[in-house]
Amino acid sequence: MKKKLYALTSFATILVVVITSCGTTGQVNKDNLIGNWATSPDENVEFTITDKNIKYFEDDYLYTYEIKRNTFSLIDSGHLIANYEIMSLTTDSLIWKTESGNVLRLVKRK
């Protein structure tokens, strides 16, 4: 009985560690978002996020954004353009999901 309880406790501990290490925990560290983002280290920068704006290089336009919990909202002239669910964010990688369900994996370029 003690072995089963120990195994169950160990499994629960590992599960908690895995769940908390995967994805965000409700609050996004905005400093980790600031920078140049690309789909891979070898690709061109897709967009740059500053403290107040995001600039897509495709259209060379500055948008504003808001972050609430793990949702990144892209805004243009006070109008919501899109929401992205931030699934995971580290100092050098970003995984977010579009409203249509596409998962985008990005790396921060230096």
In a domain, 50, yes or no: yes
Residue 1: inside a domain, yes or no?
no
Domain enclosing residue 59, as ranges: 26-109
Any domain includes 67 = yes
Domain contains 85: yes
What distance in Å separates the CA atoms of residue 40 and residue 106, rounded to the nearest whole number?
A: 7
Residue 95 falls within a domain, yes or no?
yes
- Count of domains for the chain: 1
- H or E, element range at 2: helix 2-21
At 37-80, the pLDDT tens digits run 999 999 999 999 999 999 999 888 899 999 999 999 999 999 99
DSSP string spanning 8-77?
Answer: HHHHHHHHHHHHHHSS--S---HHHH-EEEESSTTSPP-EEE-SSEEEETTTTEEEEEEEETTEEEEEET
**pLDDT at position 20:** 35
In a domain? residue 35:
yes
Tell which wins on pLDDT, 47 or 9: 47
pLDDT at position 110 is 82
CATH number of residue 102's parent domain: 2.40.128.280
pTM of the model: 0.73
40 part of a folded domain: yes
